[in-house]
Amino acid sequence: MSRGPAVFAALCVGLCAVASLTVGHARQAASVASLKPLVPAAASSIASNPDAFYGQNVTITAAVDRLVSPTSFTVDQNTKTSGVGEVLILVPVLNAPLAVNTYVTIIGEVVRHEGRPAIQATAVITAAMIDIAKRLPPPMTPDEEAFDRLMKRINPAFSALRQAVAAGAGGGANTEGTLNVQAALLMRAFADTEAFWKKRDQADAVKWAVDARAQAETLERAIAAGKSDDAKAAVTALQQTCSACHGKYRERQDDGSYRIRMGS
């Protein structure tokens, strides 16, 4: 049975995944090594002429051929001729299992490993467009869980207000006081955020929480009065306050999620 349609579909998925994830991985790699172009390649090309690829950052889409260890495997462009064009993939971590004959997209640097070409991968993207080479963060601490609950109250309320104000709310679009309800939710959440940081003796975070609550109050009054310009100014001020706090106390994890970072 021909594998042509399956290969084509897998390649399409791989290219889409690369398009969405390449920028993030390129930025991550830039902090570790000098910037290099990302070269589309085939496993068979690397296997047949490795000298042309050593030291290059490449992206390939190929089938998983063999599982060598928990963090290494081989890929092959043509599984019917296993071993002919295979390339070894080395990964610091894999947070999900791989199945033989499934297609993945690999991003990484071609290196020489035990006399043969290998790719030191920074991304292993499955057909579901999930990068399983990202390190998963450890379980949340009680502080992280508490802060996460606060952010899950603040983020949706502020997003709804920001979108509504940008669309012109405050000039009669506040149907049944819905936006005032969201503003009230923000004020309560920022009061709780202030209490959270007071217990942890973080004076700048306490001030940001106080400022944010005051800006949410200003936003509520502007919406109630139908003053669109004042509402937009309050949203901008609140966004700047949140960004300042996030810049010091929020830390991005390898999987794209965020955790609290306690200040010194």
Enumerate the domain spans of the chain: 4-125, 142-260
Q: At which residue do the structure tokens 């490449």 appear? A: 58
pLDDT of residue 177: 67
Sign of CA dihedral 36, 39, 45, 46: positive
User: Given this model, what pLDDT does residue 73 score?
Assistant: 96
Q: Could you tell me the mean pLDDT of each successive run of 10 residues in the chain, 264 residues long?
A: 44 46 44 69 93 96 93 82 78 92 95 94 93 86 90 92 78 61 91 94 95 93 87 94 93 79 66
Does domain 4-125 fall under CATH 2.40.50.140? My reply is: yes
The CATH fold assigned to 142-260 is: Four Helix Bundle (Hemerythrin (Met), subunit A) (1.20.120)
| Residue in the structure block whose two tokens are 């709804």 | 160
Bridge partners (DSSP) listed for residue 145: none
200 CA to centre of own chain: 28
- Please report the pLDDT score of residue 3 as a whole number: 46
The reply to whether domains 4-125 and 142-260 share a CATH topology is no
Is residue 125 within 8 A of residue 104, CB to CB? The reply is yes
Radius of gyration from C-alpha coordinates of the chain: 25
**DSSP states along 190-210:** HHHHHHHHHHTT-HHHHHHHH
- Here the contacts of 190-197 (C-beta below 8 Å, separation 24 or greater) are 190/154, 190/216, 192/150, 192/153, 193/150, 193/154, 196/146, 196/147, 196/150
Residue 90 CB partners (closer than 8 Å, separation 6+): 71, 72, 111, 113, 118, 119, 120, 121
- Return the closest-CA partner of residue 110 out of 63, 45, 162: 45
